Structure 1
Amino acid sequence: MRNGCFLGKKRCWTDLVLKDSQVFSIRRLKASFQYALEGLRYAVKHEKNIRIHLLAAFTTIILSILFQLTAFEWLFIVLAIFTVLVLELVNSAIERTVDLATTEIKPLAKQAKDIAAAAVLLAATMAVIVGVIIFGPKFIDLFLK
């Protein structure tokens, strides 16, 4: 029995829809996760901005625990953190792809890199705004009491 086929059928409906390379495989899934983790490890090791964002995320998580944020506040904090980290990874991938495509200085290559960096800048700005909205009143209460 392969691909969830049963009742002794020689061919299953999945054989009609999926090619062998598309059939679910734990081995392929595991390999996909390993490749993703390898990419994450590489980025953390070689990308200064990822490390800066991770430090900011760690600090934010510690503050969130200390201030005992509500679930709703945690939601915004987690979304902000992951948005920045994901876009920083995408930015790094775009930079590497552009560098692979050309070693010459070309306006389109610069624009692609600048646009990707702008996405990170906007996400980081949004994260700061979320942080100010959530932590601002808590710090004011802490220091005025």
Structure 2
Amino acid sequence: MVLHDKPTGLKRFFKGFAYAWSGIRYGLAHECNMRFHACTALIVTICGVYFDITKLEWLFVLTAIGGMLALELMNTAIEKAVDLVTNETHPLAKAAKDTAAGAVLVYAIFSAVVGLIIFLPRIMNLLM
């Protein structure tokens, strides 16, 4: 495609959303961890509504959810890009994939801690 043939303005803007939505659908269709995080996000959102968490708590919960889903998509993108470059086991390919997965794990732990801080006292009160 020649540079001047690229869509501009609103057409380009909406095409970008279409590409992004396609990536999200790909992640949900092909990545087990993405589906797990999406289901967890739904459960946490339902819990947030049920326990009537504060606006500030919603900010933390939504940041954790959005960040987790975004990081999982980035992890998938890195894995697929590495797979495109080489099918052989290479130390740099392994490092790229492992580091991306490590970032997801760090954020998942952070998100779980946020969830425990917000929801555990409410769950304990419900059980008592």
Q: What interval of TM-score do these two structures reach, taking the shorter chain for normalisation? A: over 0.9
Match of 1:84 in 2: 68
Q: Distance in 1 between matches of 2:122 and 2:5?
A: 53
Give the aligned partner of residue 90 of structure 2: 106
Aligned length: 126
Higher relative contact order (CA 8 A, sep 6+): 2
Q: How much has 1:25 moved relative to structure 2? A: 0.6
Deviations 1:51-88 (A, max 9, x none): 00001000000000000011000000000001111110
Match for residue 57 of structure 1?
41
The 5-angstrom pairing of residues 1-145 of structure 1 reads 25-144=9-128
- Offset at residue 40 of structure 1 (A): 0.7
- Identify unmatched segments of 5+ residues in structure 2: none
Aligned partner letter, 2:92:
L
Q: What is the root-mean-square deviation of aligned Cα atoms in Å? A: 1.6
Structure with bigger helix share is 2
User: Which secondary structure does the structure 2 equivalent of 1:69 belong to?
Assistant: coil
- Point out where structure 1 has 5 or more consecutive residues left out of the alignment: 1-18
TM-score (structure 2 length as normaliser): 0.93
Percent identity, aligned pairs only, is: 44
